[in-house]
Structure 1
């Protein structure tokens, strides 16, 4: 996944989280009427009435409302099969709810892992360019030093040739150019 795709995914996730936070934070002023009294789950006869109370579980096989077994994370099959159990809304069975939540959680985890990997790769690539620049600078310095050495060797060689043929005034050289005075 490219960093642009990861950035889009992150920004979409952030927008959804912010929207959810503001949506949950909306204030509804209560009226002066007393809080509704929840009826026992066994008395409720329709799925909609049953699921208005979050402590109730509706079973489609026998159309009964029962207390959600809070001692278990998932309701046992003795209460109702997962494919026939409804909790929260009538149109989603418990299996689909579990699968949907697992997919959502997995997507969030994978997104976070991709973001972490992208951040790590960006840090590595930036340090890699620093290493490349350092290696290039060292190479330039070595080349410059070699060039200076070659230049000094050439100068020495040329000076020796000039001395040999008397082109450089040197008092101790026997074959220096004779000058008329």
Structure 2
């Protein structure tokens, strides 16, 4: 659990740094310079966005998370892969993220329920053992009382204790 708390922010930070360095590493290769090329050539640079409708290579607008519709519609925008449009990419990532979250919640619920079930079972077993020990102790106590009574009758001490009035 603790590892996932550290891993996810570290992964996001790494992804952000890679994106920033990729943008600053190639200032001479402006995406607009590749307008007359193909989608594959345009998307070699991670900062570029290919619009199929206008067949232009654009610099990805990092100020907005999604490219605006005026720049290029989502179903015509390509980023990273030429065969997958931006809309399908977003839907796929959302579905995968939702499945991961649901799976995490189900596992969390099952683990907590199983843990509680296990502790209840453990407590019941401990209670049974305590009851058994208590019964055995009462039986030993009764046997000792019987043995003491037999010894008292054997030696004639079964009468009232003469020291009882001092107590």
TM tier, shorter chain? 0.5 to 0.7
Q: In the aligned structure 1, how far is the partner of 2:82 from the partner of 2:59?
A: 16
Contact 1:42 1:64 in 2 (8 A): no
Contact 2:31 2:42 in 1 (8 A): no
Q: Give matches, 1:56-71, under 5 Å.
A: 56-71=48-63
Q: Which has the higher helix share?
A: 2
Determine which structure has greater relative contact order: mean sequence separation of CA pairs < 8 Å that are 6+ residues apart, divided by chain length: 1
Contact 2:34 2:41 in 1 (8 A): no
Unaligned runs of 5+ in 2: 1-25, 157-167
Q: Do structure 1's residue 132 and structure 2's residue 141 form an aligned pair?
A: no
Deviation of 1:77 after TM superposition, in Å, equals 0.7
TM-score if structure 1 supplies the norm length?
0.55
1:142-166 deviation line (CA, Å, top 9, x unaligned): 4335545766788899x7xxx8xxx
Q: In the aligned structure 1, how far is the partner of 2:155 from the partner of 2:121?
A: 54
Counterpart pick for 2:64 among 72, 78, 85: 72
Equivalent position of 2:102 in the other structure:
110
Equivalent position of 2:35 in the other structure:
44
1:110-159 deviation line (CA, Å, top 9, x unaligned): 333344334434432332232112210222134335545766788899x7
TM-score if structure 2 supplies the norm length?
0.59
Counterpart pick for 1:91 among 70, 83, 98: 83
Q: Bigger shift: 76-85 or 143-152? A: 143-152
Between Structure 1 and Structure 2, how many residues are aligned?
130
Larger Rg: 1
SS of 1:52's equivalent? Answer: coil
